[in-house]
Chain A
């Protein structure tokens, strides 16, 4: 068996008096859609922010493709191959859709200030490649026609797509999506599900945090459930759905 793509071991995080994460461990395999669900305040987003380097962790390590992930440094985590989106969409509002995705290429390109000023053949070629890749990605997520619109003028669903395109521009091996279906209508959610499946079929691993349990169960290959900062279970959707602890966590104790 191949080693997992990502292996988180004993991640703990405390905010003041609240233990948001208690030694959470999980593994994500190459090319799978991995769902992370749990009730409000279970620690999903906290885990996500630790994993992508935004929050410093109190304990724990993450191995990614056999190497320790540089936790605490979001840019380095990204360059190591983990890209993310944000729950409350964070686009560069006054840049166009195309420019947003072009920014995503930053970590994979080299041109410095001198190159920018002299605009040598190498730099020009790099710029062209950046632009082409960005255009491809906009088409991939289905908003190729909106390349020239300012990000803030896009519809909500299109902003979500744009954020995914921007994350893909960083050439990730794992794409982490933080509640991508939040606020979407049924049609938009279905389209999103299509994009995520396509990504997996193209060989990308996807970590999905989602409130929409139905979407997760439909889409994911495996699912983990967090409750009060602890992992209750990690299994295929069918098994997770029937697990008594999960039912309790979601519906409250039967007693």
Chain B
């Protein structure tokens, strides 16, 4: 029973990070219909910028309680700029190009970002300082750390802000209109280029938050951390139904839970034949199964074939 609760906690923590990153994918997909392959790198840059900021602040002798919020803010600003730049350089010139062209530039940008980071800060794993207390709380026999609590709280807050923006502001309405039909939105006076740019900016801010949170949780950051995380988050977005915000959140949490529970129980389920190494197989199998029965994801709209 304790393991079950423990795995659910771990799954929710992992899942909220996936959800944050998945939102970035799904927003861009909803508006432009393309996979922003470089999104994972934004997460990584967020984690490393926050780390550099925190170190600088610590050198100035500021207390940890101040370091984290400032580090997070700086990371968000840096990533917002990065996101806008990616859109401007890699996607905007190719908006009417063949479908796969932006995918390749995105891969190129992703490689460029990774190795720029390597040139600046090297290939080693960077230890994250302990910004939060490490004393865990007991929850029905399972343990939950302050870092895990922070992940869940901060990501929930970030998602709430995002939903508010999309559903309650002028910008959000323009975003939804653009996603529905860019041409018509343009005719109605929406500055489509600006909306698309801001979509990347907002998604990147979420990515920065995710990068900081995941690094706090695992106490480590690395130039390749964005790749796998991005991959999982994209999977989550597809699982939920890409283009759908609620879908990204549901998909993220679900994928986190599946992975945590799968890793915890796969050994028992298969009589020890398969170990937790197969965690990712589990995640992808669930994805394939969901898509076979619901080709547009869990919450995706069923787009009927139109004649």
> Do A and B bind?
yes
Binding site for B on A (CB under 8 A): 45, 48-49, 54-55, 86-87, 178
Measured CA separation A45–B305 after assembly (Å): 13
Using a CB–CB cutoff of 8 Å, the interface residues on chain B facing chain A are 304-305, 307
The 4 closest A-B CB pairs, nearest first, are A49-B307, A54-B307, A86-B307, A54-B305
The residues of B that contact A55 with a CB separation of less than 8 Å are: 304
Q: Give the chain B neighbours of A45 by CB distance below 8 A.
A: 307
Chain B residues with Cβ under 8 A from A87's Cβ?
Answer: 307
Of all chain A residues, the one with the shortest Cβ separation from B305 is A54
Q: List residues of chain B with CB within 8 A of the CB of A86.
A: 307
Bound CA–CA A48/B306 (angstroms) = 12
**9 A-B residue pairings within 8 Å (CB atoms):** A45-B307, A48-B307, A49-B307, A54-B305, A54-B307, A55-B304, A86-B307, A87-B307, A178-B307
For chain B, what secondary structure do more than half of its interface residues adopt (helix, strand, loop), or is it mixed?
A: loop
The docked-state distance in angstroms from the alpha carbon of A86 to that of B306 is 10
Q: How many A-B residue pairs have CB under 8 A?
A: 9
A86 to B305, CA, bound (A): 13
- Which residue of A is nearest B304, CB measured? A55
Q: How far is A87 from B307 in the complex, measured between Cα atoms in Å?
A: 7
Tell me the minimal C-beta distance from A108 to chain B in angstroms: 23
Contacts of A178 in B (CB 8 A): 307
Which partner residue on chain B sits nearest A54 by CB separation?
B307
Q: Which of chain B's residues has its CB closest to A84's CB? A: B307
C-alpha gap A115/B304 in the complex (Å)? 36
CA–CA, A87 and B304, complex, Å: 17
- Given the complex of chains A and B, what is the CA–CA distance between A16 and B263 in angstroms? 41
State the Cβ distance, B283 to closest chain A Cβ, in Å.
32
Q: Report chain A residues within 8 Å CB of B305.
A: 54
- Inter-chain CA distance A21–B216, complex, in Å, is 59
Query: Nearest Cβ distance between residue B302 and chain A, in whole angstroms?
Result: 11
Q: Which residue of B lies closest to A49 (CB)?
A: B307
Return B152 CB to nearest CB of chain A, in Å: 37
For residue B26, give the distance in angstroms from its CB to the closest CB of chain A. 25
Smallest beta-carbon distance A42→chain B, Å? 16
Q: How far is the CB of A177 from chain B (nearest CB, A)?
A: 13
Give complex CA distance A54, B305 in Å.
Answer: 8
CA distance A169 to B307 in the complex (A): 20
* Cα-based distance from A120 to B305 in the complex (angstroms): 38
Closest Cβ–Cβ distance, residue A87 to chain B (whole Å): 7
Other A-B pairs beyond A48-B307, A54-B307, A86-B307, 6, CB < 8 Å: A45-B307, A49-B307, A54-B305, A55-B304, A87-B307, A178-B307
Q: Which residues of the partner chain A approach B307 to less than 8 Å between Cβ atoms?
A: 45, 48-49, 54, 86-87, 178
List B contacts of A48 (CB < 8 A): 307
User: Smallest distance from the beta carbon of A89 to chain B beta carbons, Å?
Assistant: 11
**Chain B's nearest CB lies how many Å from the CB of A201?**
28
B304 CB to closest chain A CB (Å) equals 8
Interface centre among A48, A49, A87 (most CB of B within 10 A): A49
CA A178 – CA B306 in complex, angstroms? Answer: 13
The complex places the Cα of A48 from the Cα of B304 at a distance, in Å, of 15
In the complex, what residues of A have CB within 8 A of residue B304's CB? 55
Task: Report chain B residues within 8 Å CB of A49.
Answer: 307
CB distance from A205 to the nearest CB of B (A): 21
Closest CB in chain B relative to A213 CB, distance in Å: 22
The residue on B at minimum CB distance from A45 is: B307
Query: Would you give the shortest CB distance from B87 to chain A, in whole angstroms?
Result: 28
A178 to chain B, nearest CB (A): 7
Q: Please report the C-alpha to C-alpha distance between residue A55 and residue B305 in the assembled complex, in whole angstroms.
A: 8
Report the bound CA distance from A48 to B307 in whole Å: 10
User: What is the distance, in angstroms, from A150's C-beta to the closest C-beta of chain B?
Assistant: 16
How far apart are B272's CB and chain A's nearest CB, in angstroms?
44
User: How many Å from the CB of A148 to the closest CB on chain B?
Assistant: 23
CA distance A54 to B307 in the complex (A): 8
Cα-based distance from A55 to B307 in the complex (angstroms): 9
A4 vs chain B, min Cβ distance (A): 25
Question: Which residue from chain B places its CB closest to the CB of A48 in the assembled complex?
Answer: B307
CA distance A49 to B304 in the complex (A): 12
Q: What's the minimum C-beta distance from A85 to chain B, rounded to whole angstroms?
A: 10
Specify the chain B residue showing the minimal Cβ separation from A86: B307
For residue A211, give the distance in angstroms from its CB to the closest CB of chain B. 16
What is the chain B residue whose CB lies nearest that of A87?
B307
Task: Report Cα–Cα, A138/B304, bound state, in Å.
Answer: 32
